[in-house]
Amino acid sequence: MSSHLHMSISRKGELTLSDIMRDFKKFTSKEIVKAIAEVNESRKDWLMNRFEFAAKYIKKNKNFKFWQDGNHPEELISDEFIDQKLNYIHNNPVEEMIVSEPEDYLFSSARDYAGIKGLLDVELLG
């Protein structure tokens, strides 16, 4: 999705889901802003201005803010719950009328679940 991200993650050790999300957001925001700054792209100035404006009144952000605050981690505790969340995630681009079938969205694990190799390595759940 162009405006948000859904993902399932696993954790080991003492890190909580919130710890993982904090570290994920910190790392990816720096890498994305760096990539945008280095690429000759027509929307670069607009994007950088938006990220800079978003960080302007937030003490913990020094220059740019890429991710919104907050997240909604939920532990996948049963096969039924896993199926529910996967269906929600896979059908999100269909509901947004980006594609007609979940597996048509190039950036979704729905492709892997449909037997089509996706862009990333995916470990199938359930």
Say yes or no to pLDDT of 96 above 70. Answer: yes
Confidence of residue 61 (pLDDT cuts 50, 70, 90): low
Who contacts 113 (Cβ-Cβ below 8 Å, separation ≥6)? 86, 90, 103, 124
Say whether pTM exceeds 0.85. Answer: no
Of 85, 89, 82, 79, the residue nearest 110 (C-alpha): 89
Q: What percent of the chain clears pLDDT 70, i.e. is strictly above it? A: 96
Q: Are 92 and 6 in contact (CB under 8 A)?
A: yes
pLDDT tens-digit map of 6-25:
888 888 889 888 888 889 99
Q: pLDDT tens across 71-80, in order?
A: 888 888 899 9
